[in-house]
Amino acid sequence: MTTFVFCSYILNYYFYYCGYFVTVIFLLVRFSRLTAMDNEMCSLKRQLEEKEKEIAALRSKLAARVEKASELKIQDKVTTLNPLTAKPSLSNEDIMRYSRQLLLPDLGVQGQLKLSQTSVLVVGCGGLGCPLAQYLAAAGIGRLGLLDYDEVELSNLHRQVLHGEENQGQAKALSAARSVIRLNSGVECIPYHLQLSPENALQLVQQYDIVADCSDNVPTRYLVNDACVLSGKPLVSASALRMEGQLTVYNYHGGPCYRCLYPVPPPPETVTNCSDGGVLGVVPGIMGCLQALEVLKIASGQGTACGQQLLLFDAQNARFRSIRLRPKQPSCVVCGEIPSVTRLVDYEAFCGSAATDKCRKLNLLSKDQRITVQDYKSIRDSTGPHILLDVRPLVEVEICSLPSSLNIPLSSLEEKKSKDIQLLQEKISQVKQQMAGDQQAPVYVVCKLGNDSQKAVQLLEKMSGEEVDGITVKDISGGLMAWAKMIDPSFPRY
């Protein structure tokens, strides 16, 4: 009995202690779990605090950007700007941002500070102006005036690299300014959505230190030149077409101005623009970059070697040539010794063309020598025998053409190439065979916009009775682009 009591006593103790240990272990485990959770919570809290700090920093950065972007007020007229404030030194952020160029002995801190105090007027935000503005902003130029009268179109995007698909229809000046601000919010950007004119050019040019001519037409080139000469500003000028580019710095340290080199503007019919002649996007890209380089060298005080030389870029053969130019000409009408141009004049009248690169509309023919695209549609529908003569260059015919057209480029007609004339004669006699009696074969001439087709009609009428005979020639007014617009919306436009 006592043994039993003793045993049960021991067991009791045993169980008691076991229970005690289990409880202690249970509590210990719980406690350590709690400490782990506490630690985790602390670390999460810390992380959260860090993230909150980051978010706050991002918020203020975003607010600064939004404020900066909303500051981008598009200017439709020239206003007076506050002078650029001189920076006494570079901030830590400046030093980090520009470190790779600060390391260049040619630039250095002093050069960087000079850049930040320089304002540049970019005339034209197209194929040259986009890369130029991009590199000037990236390098930390102080102020950029971005001028363009035009809006972004789909056919611009292959070369005007600051504009995106979503910017179509927007003012180029604003679209370019927004891209530039995104790249470097420290640059002051002023978008001008206006046409540079003899009325506003001087007031505008006077407010900038350097002018970059990135325009696309002859009258604007003379206007910008004269405004720079009259206000004593260096003009960094580039141009590009097809597979060629040119670069010169005018009106700089005794060098020539544009008029010293080209006193008389070229006849408008000899000028090809990008929408007529085409251009590979990277060619103005390269020329705009070279322009940026010269602007940066002038702005940072290194000077330029292009003040008395014409740099030619031949993209086809990957060759640069530079032609040494004469100093400025004493006989120059604007920068010479006795200038006759002492204020801005009418440059469209002087050049005989409009200050745009939009195709001009020729009017060479009388009303009865032309038909509308609607008229031609009914002729096609009635299936009457006729010749549709497409006088565009082969490269354009390959883009699109109307079925059953005969292609003889205007240049071949002008040169009276015997192979092409023979082809035309054969076609004329075919059509005549299809027609009753001794009627004249109708020839309808078409091109892209209705300019070359008018020239071709004049040419064919001159050839009548000699190279070609028995035809009536008419031009399709407005060309294939009018056809695409009015008759067949599925016809490609270019």
Partner 1 sequence: MNTVSVIYFGQSAELTGLKGEELVSVPTPISSRELWELLQQRHPRLAVLRGHVVLAVAQQYIPIAEQLVVLRDGDEVAVVPPLSGG
Please tell me whether 159 is known to bind a ligand. Answer: yes
Check: CB of residue 108 under 8 Å from CB of residue 102. yes
Q: Could you tell which of partner 1, Zn ion, none binds residue 435, using a CB distance below 5 to 8 A set by kind? A: none
- 3-class DSSP state of 338: coil
Nearer to partner 1, 68 or 242 (CB): 242
Q: Could you tell which of Zn ion, partner 1, none binds residue 238, using a CB distance below 5 to 8 A set by kind? A: partner 1
Please tell me whether 106 is known to bind a ligand. Answer: no
Nearer to partner 1, 226 or 357 (CB): 357
Please tell me whether 127 is known to bind a ligand. Answer: yes
Please tell me whether 189 is known to bind a ligand. Answer: no
Is 274 among the residues known to form the active site?
yes
Q: Could you tell which of partner 1, Zn ion, none binds residue 257, using a CB distance below 5 to 8 A set by kind? A: Zn ion
**Cβ at position 162, least distance to Zn ion in Å:** 32
Site residues (vs partner 1, CB under 8 A):
124, 126-129, 213-218, 221, 238-242, 244-246, 261-267, 269-274, 277, 279, 284, 310, 312, 314, 316, 321-326, 357
What is the full DSSP assignment across 402-421? -TT-EE--HHHHHTT-HHHH
Compute the Cα dihedral for 249, 254, 259, 261 and give only its sign.
negative
Check: CB of residue 442 under 8 Å from CB of residue 412. no
CA distances from 249 to 144, 243, 266, 292, 305 (A): 19, 21, 20, 12, 8
Question: Which among 435, 227, 211 is positioned nearest to 342, based on CA atoms?
Answer: 227
Helix H segments across 72-128?
92-97, 99-102, 108-116
Please tell me whether 42 is known to bind a ligand. Answer: no
Site residues (vs Zn ion, CB under 5 A):
257, 259-260, 332, 335
- 3-class DSSP state of 397: helix
Please tell me whether 148 is known to bind a ligand. Answer: yes
Nearer to partner 1, 115 or 228 (CB): 228
The residues, ordered by sequence, that sit 6+ positions from 86 with a Cβ below 8 Å of its Cβ are 117
Tell me which residue has tokens 């007027």: 121
Nearer to partner 1, 413 or 482 (CB): 413
**Cβ at position 137, least distance to partner 1 in Å:** 19
**Cβ at position 193, least distance to partner 1 in Å:** 18
| 166: region left, alpha or beta (phi > 0 left; psi from -120 to 50 alpha) | alpha
**Cβ at position 216, least distance to partner 1 in Å:** 4
Q: Could you tell which of Zn ion, partner 1, none binds residue 264, using a CB distance below 5 to 8 A set by kind? A: partner 1
Q: Whole-angstrom Cα distance, residue 130 to residue 164?
A: 12
Check: CB of residue 209 under 8 Å from CB of residue 233. yes
Q: Which residue among the candidates 214, 228, 274, 351 is catalytic per the annotation?
A: 274
**Cβ at position 233, least distance to Zn ion in Å:** 14
Q: Could you tell which of Zn ion, partner 1, none binds residue 284, using a CB distance below 5 to 8 A set by kind? A: partner 1
Please tell me whether 172 is known to bind a ligand. Answer: yes
Check: CB of residue 448 under 8 Å from CB of residue 361. no
Binding residues: 127, 148, 155-159, 172, 216-217, 257, 260, 332, 335
Q: Which residues are annotated binding-site positions for ATP?
A: 127, 148, 155-159, 172, 216-217
Point out the residues that are catalytic. Answer: 274, 447
